[in-house]
């Protein structure tokens, strides 16, 4: 008999505060490594500077968003983000590069963001 498992829901913390109304969170780790090629072909890689990009979307209640991503992006202020998964967490410092606030027919108001931060291994 197959075992039923429930998938983990990703959570987001901004400056140590849980963001409870997030409907979508994505964590992308990009080493930005450069391939080294010679006539014979690929021989290795040069380590790149690396970056972590976190994107998310959340519902905006009538009182306003849990965290004002639009204000943070406009001020270019740095913030600590944490995405726990399993027994590990990505924790890094960076800035909100983009923020979008919008609504469409039949849906509530949503806010989305793109955060770019430190290339650090999960802890």
The span from the CA of 104 to the CA of 65, in Å, is 17
> Which tens digits make up the pLDDT trace of 18-42?
999 999 999 999 999 999 999 999 9
DSSP characters for 65-108?
Answer: -SS-HHHHHHHT-EEEEEEEETTEEEEEEEEEEEEEEE--TTS-
CATH: 2.40.30, 1.10.132, 1.10.3470, 1.20.120. Which one for 13-117?
A: 2.40.30
Say which residues have a Cβ less than 8 Å from residue 122's Cβ, sequence separation at least 6: 85, 88, 89, 90
Q: Minimal CA–CA distance to 69: which of 31, 6, 28, 19? A: 19
Q: Minimal CA–CA distance to 111: which of 97, 93, 98, 121? A: 98
Q: Minimal CA–CA distance to 10: which of 70, 88, 79, 74? A: 88
The span from the CA of 13 to the CA of 31, in Å, is 23
CA 59 vs. chain centroid, Å, equals: 16
- Map out the domains of the chain as residue ranges: 13-117
User: Is residue 1's pLDDT more than 60?
Assistant: no
pLDDT category of residue 105 using cuts at 50, 70 and 90: confident
Mean pLDDT across 3-26: 86
The span from the CA of 112 to the CA of 101, in Å, is 7
């Amino acid at each position: 008999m197959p075992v039923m498992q429930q998938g983990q829901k990703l959570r987001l913390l901004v400056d140590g505060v849980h963001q409870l109304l997030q409907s979508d969170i994505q964590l992308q780790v990009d080493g930005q490594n450069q391939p080294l090629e010679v006539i014979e072909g690929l021989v290795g890689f040069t380590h790149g500077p690396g970056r972590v990009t976190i994107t998310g979307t959340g519902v905006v209640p009538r009182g306003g968003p849990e965290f004002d991503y639009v204000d943070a992006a406009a001020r270019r202020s740095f913030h600590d983000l944490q995405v726990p998964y399993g027994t590990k967490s990505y924790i890094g410092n960076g800035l909100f590069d983009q923020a979008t606030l919008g609504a469409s027919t039949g849906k509530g108001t949503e806010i989305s963001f793109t955060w770019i931060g430190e290339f650090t291994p999960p802890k």
